[in-house]
Structure 1
C-alpha cells in the first residue's frame, strides 16, 4: 500500500466511527428497542464465575448460575428494574454479544474513575459510556453496549478492506470499505446493542481468514503445515464459532469453512486434518463462549413450530435448541405472531431487495451491491468455460478464492430470502460482500474515466444518504417528545390507551428539574392485532370499544398495528375498519399531537409512507403537519427499519365522549 492509500484507510475508519458513534443516546436511553431492552435486562444479572468461589459447581449449575442466560439467577437484583427470581427466561439472542457487553461494561467501570477527570464532562464518551452522568446499571449497560456495537461495525469496515485487498487489490478494498462506511443499514444497526452486527463482523473476519488460508495452502507443492495455512484455518474456525455464538444462522459458514479446508488439504498428506482443525476450532470456541448452550437441558420438552415432530420435542429439552427451533418456526411462519403478520403477502427475495434498495442501502449503493453479486457469480462461472467434467471444474474453482465468500452469500441469501419473516436486519451479514463485489465490478469497467465516475457516484450517493440519515439523531425521539407533551398537558391519573405490541406513553422523563413518572398515568391496551380469524368478533370489538369509551387519550406511536390489520380483512373482518374510523374522527377522538423525526436532505424530510400500503387516508392533522414539514415520501418501509428510531407518533383526545353503542354503530358488522 502507498502512503496515500494508508491515509485513505485511516480516513475511512474515522468516518465510519463518527457515523456510528454519533447519537448513541438516540432514545435518551429509554430503551425503545425491545430486543436491546431485553438483552440489557438480562445483562444486569450476568456475573462471571469467581475463580476463588467456595461453591464452584453452583456457578455452573443451570438453576443457580449467574452466568446462564436461560434462567433468572436466584437473588439477582439491579436498581430501577424488576428482576424475576429463579425463573426460566426465553433468551433467543446470541450469547457472545451479551457476554462481550457485560465484559466491556465491567472494564469501563474500572477505568472510568481515571479517565473522567481528563475529559470534557459534556462529551457522550464521558457522560454516557464512562458513566460520568451516574446512570443506573440498566442504562449504562445500554450505553456501553451501543458503543461496543459501533466499534465492532467499524471493525467490519476494516475486515472488508483486508478481504478486498486480498481478493482484488488495495484499490477495490478501499472502495468497498468506503462504501460500507456510509451504508445506512450498518450505521443504524450499529446504534443498537443487538446480535446482527456481531454476527456480521465475525462472518466477514471468518471469510477473510478462510481466503487467507486458501491462498497460503493452495499450492500442492507447499506444505500447509508450515506456510501459515493451518493457523489461518484455526482462526477462521474460531471466528465461525463466535459467529454461531452471536446468531445461529451463522452455521451456514460451515460451507465455506469446509471448502477452504478441502482446498488447503489438497496439498497435505492427510487431507482430512485441515477440516478437523477448522471445525474443531469452531466447536471449541462456540463451547467456551456459549457454555450453557451445552449445559442447560432444564427446559420443559415441547414440540416447537412443527419442527421435526418427536425429535424436535426431545431436542427442546435443551434451552438453546428450544430457542433455535422457536426462532425457526417464527421465521418460517409456522408460529403465528402479531409482530410477524406484517409480512403477509410479501414476496420472498423481492421484498428484501426492495427494502435494501429503497431504505437499507439506498438506491445507489443498493443497485451497486446487487449488481456486484450478479457480476461476481458471472465472473466466477465465466472462467469455467472449456472445463469438462466435475473434477476439472472443482479443481479450477479451488484456485479461485472468491468461491469462499460466494459459498456464504448465496446459501445465506437463498435460505434467508425464502423466510416468511423478512426483518431488514437479516440482510446485514451479506451486505459487506455485496459492496465488495460491487466495488470490484466498478473497477473492472474497461473505460478508465467511466470507472472513476462510477466510483465517485457510488461514494457520493452513499455519503449523501448516510449524512441525511444521521441527521435524524439530532432531534428528540418522537416518543420522548410526545411524553413531554403528555406530562405538560395531561393531568396525572388520566387513562391513556396504547395499542398492542407498542410501548405505552408517557415514559419517565426529567422536566424542569423534576422527574415526571410514567406510573402517574394508568394504561390499558387495545388488542386489534390479537385474536384473528373467527375470534375477531363482536366480543373482541366490544371489549376494545369499552376502553375507547372510558379513556381520555389514545396513543398510536407506530404503524405496528395500522400497517397490518387493514391489509388483512379476511383475518380481521371487524378490526380492519378501526383505524380509518379513528383517523376520520368518527370515533370521537381528535388528533392533538403529531411528531416524527426522519432523515433530512437539504432541509427536506425523507419519510416513509406508513398509510399507503394498508390503504389508509392519514388524519387531517398529519396531512397538515406534513405540509408544514417539507419532505419527500419514499414509499413503504419495512416496519423494523423505522419503528425504533424514527416512528411517526400520534396522540388523540376523546372529545366526542361516545358511548359503546355509538362507537359500535360506526362499524359495519356481519349480520347488520
Structure 2
C-alpha cells in the first residue's frame, strides 16, 4: 500500500517534468523557426527559386465558388494548370490550398478586388463563377466575380495578424502566409518527433530527440521559406507516428489516421505514396510479435522460429490495412483534386496535364532531360554527396555522426537481434535514402523528411550510450516499440535492455 501510494506522486511529478521540458523545447523550436520569419531576407525578390515560384503561383489562384468546382480539375481556380502563365506545376496542392484560404480569410473584404481573371484553359462552354458586371473594367467580359469575397473572414484574427488591413492574396504579401504555415508545420514536426521517440524508446529519448530536432539546421532553414518541404516533413512524421501506434496494438482509429496522413503527404508530394510501406511493416510487427512473458522476463527465443499469428488476426489486420489504404486514396482525392479530371466526385480518372507534368519532372530528376538548373548535379557521386550534405550541413557534424552511428547499430540490432523497436524508423530512413540517393538530382531538401527520424535514432543511441557509460555492468531499462508486450531488445554490446 505504501509503495503504491508513493509511486503515484512520483509518476505525476515525472509527467509534469516531461511536459515542462517539452514546453521549453517547443519554445526553443518556435523561437528559431519564427525568428525574423518575414523580414530576414528583405529587401529581396524571393531568392529561393521554389519560393519565388510558389509565390508567383499563389498570387494568381483563387478559392473555388463551390465544392463541385473544387473537385473539377478543369474549373478549379486553385489548379495552377488552369492559368497560361504557370501551367507547369509538379508540387502538391495542399500547401497552396491552405495558404490561399488563410490569406483570403485574413484579408479585409473591402481590399479584395471585385472581379478576377477566369482560368484561361477552361472549356469556354463550361460556366465558371459569376460573370463580372463591372463595366468600368476594359476586359470585364473575361472576368468573373471574385470568389474570395464569399469566403468567411476571420475578423478577430485580422486585427491581430493583419492590423494594417492589407490584401494578403497578392504577390508581395501571400508569401508571408506561406512562410507562417511552414513554420507551424515544422513546429508540429518537432512535437511528432517527441511522440515517436516517446513511443519507441521512452521519455528521455523523446525529449532529447525533440531538442535535437529543434536545433537542427536544415529544418530551421526550410521553416523560413514558403515551399512544400515543411508540410511534407510533418505528414511523413505523422504517418510514421500512426504506423508506430498501429504496430502497438492500434485499432481502427490508428489505421485510419495512418491512411489520412499518407494521403495528406501525397498531397504535398505525390511520390510519398511509398509511405504505404509503413502500414505493411506495422502489420508485420503485429504478426511477428511474441506473447508477453510473466514477471518481465526477457524473450530470448530465436525469432527465426517464431510462429505467425492466427489466421483470424491476419484477416483482421489485412482489413485494417485495406481500410487505411482506402482512406489514403480518399484524402488524396479530396486534398489533391488537380490530379483527377473530377467532373464528379466519383470521377477519379487522372488528369492528363497532371500525368504529363509528373512524367516530365521525372526526366529532369533522373538526368534524362537537361536544363540549366540540372547542370549543377553533373559529376556528383550518388549516395555520398547527399550523405555528406546531411552530415555536414543539414544536421551538423556532431549530430550527423551520432545519427549515422545510431542508424548502423539499430540496423545491426534489427537484423541480428530481432529488435523490432527499430523497424519502422530504420526501414523508412534506409528505403528513402536508397531510393533518392541514387537519383541524378540530390538537392538537400529532398531528404528533409528524414531529419526527424534521424534525430530520434540519434537520441536513442545517446541515451543508451549514456546509460551504458554510467552503469556498465547493469541492465538498462529502456521501453521498446512494444513496451509492456514482451518484446525484448538487446542494445549496445555491454548493455542489455529489458522491457518493464
State the TM-score, normalizing by the size of structure 2.
0.71
Q: Match of 1:105? A: 103
Distance 1:445 1:103, change over 3 A: same
Structure showing greater Rg? 1
1:14 aligns with 2:12: no
Shift in CA distance, 363/263, structure 1 to aligned 2, threshold 3 Å: closer
SS of alignment partner, residue 8 of structure 1:
helix
Cα separation, partners in 2 of 1:130 and 1:360, compared to 1, 3 Å: farther
Q: Deviations over 1:616-637 (max 9, x none)?
A: xxxxxxxxxxxxxxxxxxxxxx
Gaps of at least 5 residues in structure 2 are 1-13, 109-152, 288-308, 344-348, 472-500
Question: After the TM superposition, which segments of 4 or more aligned residues of structure 1 sit over 6 Å from their partners?
Answer: 133-136
Q: CA deviation at 1:145?
A: 0.7
Deviation of 1:422 after TM superposition, in Å, equals 1.1
Report the Cα distance in structure 1 between the residues aligned to 2:318 and 2:71, rounded to whole angstroms.
35
For 2:58, the equivalent position in structure 1 comes to 43
Tell me whether 263-272 or 375-384 shows the greater mean CA deviation: 263-272
Partner SS for 2:455: helix
Picking from 77, 80, 94, the partner of 2:92 is 94
Q: Please show how residues 267-666 of structure 1 align to structure 2 within 5 Å.
A: 267=313, 269-295=315-341, 318-384=352-418, 400-445=420-465
Work out which of the residue numbers 79, 87, 90 in structure 2 matches 1:68: 79
Q: 2: distance between equivalents of 1:114 and 1:270? A: 48
**TM-score, normalised with respect to structure 1:** 0.53
Alpha-carbon contact 1:112-1:130 (below 8 Å) kept: no
One of 148, 164, 169 as aligned partner of 2:197:
164
Are residues 316 and 423 of structure 1, via their aligned partners in 2, closer, same or farther at CA, if it must alter by over 3 Å?
farther
In structure 2, the CA distance between the partners of 1:57 and 1:190, relative to structure 1 (3 Å rule), is: closer
Return the alpha-carbon distance in structure 2 between the equivalents of residues 449 and 20 of structure 1: 34
- State the Cα distance separating 1:368 from its structure 2 match: 1.4
Whether 1:27 aligns to 2:49 is no
Deviation, 1:259, is 2.3
| 2:294 is the counterpart of 1:236 | no
Q: Partner of 2:272 in structure 1? A: 250
Whether contact under 8 Å (2:107, 2:168) holds in the other structure is: no
- Secondary structure of the residue aligned to 1:48 is coil
The structure, 1 or 2, with the larger RCO (C-alpha pairs under 8 Å, 6+ apart) is 2
Q: Distance in 2 between matches of 1:190 and 1:146?
A: 7
Q: In 2, are the aligned partners of 1:262 and 1:275 still within 8 Å (CA)?
A: no
Stretch of structure 1 that moved more, 400-409 or 141-150: 400-409
Equivalents in 2 of 1:62, 1:316: separation in Å?
A: 10
The structure-2 alpha-carbon separation of the partners of 1:423 and 1:383, relative to structure 1 and needing over 3 Å to count, comes to same
Structure 1 residue 49: deviation in Å?
Answer: 2.8
Gaps (5+ residues) in structure 1?
Answer: 73-83, 120-125, 218-228, 298-314, 385-396, 452-672
Partners of 2:73 and 2:339 within 8 A in 1: no
Give, in whole Å, the separation in 1 of the partners of 2:16 and 2:69.
Answer: 56
CA distance in 2, matches of 1:427, 1:93: 16
Q: Is the 8 Å Cα contact of residues 343 and 420 (structure 1) preserved in structure 2?
A: yes
Q: CA RMSD in A?
A: 2.6
Give the corresponding residue for 2:206: 173
Residue 4 of structure 1: how far off its partner (Å): 1.8
Identify if the C-alpha distance between structure 1 residues 106 and 358 changes in structure 2 by more than 3 Å, giving closer, same or farther. Answer: same
User: What secondary structure does 1:70 align onto?
Assistant: helix
- 1:266-315 deviation per Cα after TM superposition (whole angstroms, max 9, x unaligned): 52554431121011111000011011201179xxxxxxxxxxxxxxxxx9
The CA distance in 1 between the partners of 2:385 and 2:427, in whole Å, is 22
Match of 2:221 among 170, 188, 201: 188
SS in 2 for 1:236: helix
Question: Could you say which residue in structure 2 is the equivalent of 1:151?
Answer: 184
Q: Find the residue that maps to 1:49 and give its secondary structure.
A: coil
Structure 2 CA distance, aligned partners of 1:345 and 1:450?
A: 47
**Cα distance between partner residues in 2 of 1:57 and 1:288:** 11
SS at match of 2:465: coil
> Does the CA contact (< 8 Å) of 2:106 and 2:158 recur in 1?
no
Structure 2 residue aligned with 1:597: none
Q: Does the CA contact (< 8 Å) of 1:131 and 1:140 recur in 2?
A: no
In 2, are the aligned partners of 1:405 and 1:433 still within 8 Å (CA)?
Answer: yes
Asked whether the 8 Å contact 2:179–2:225 carries over to 1, the reply is yes
Aligned 8 A contact 1:112 1:131 in 2: no
Is 1:139 the equivalent of 2:154?
no
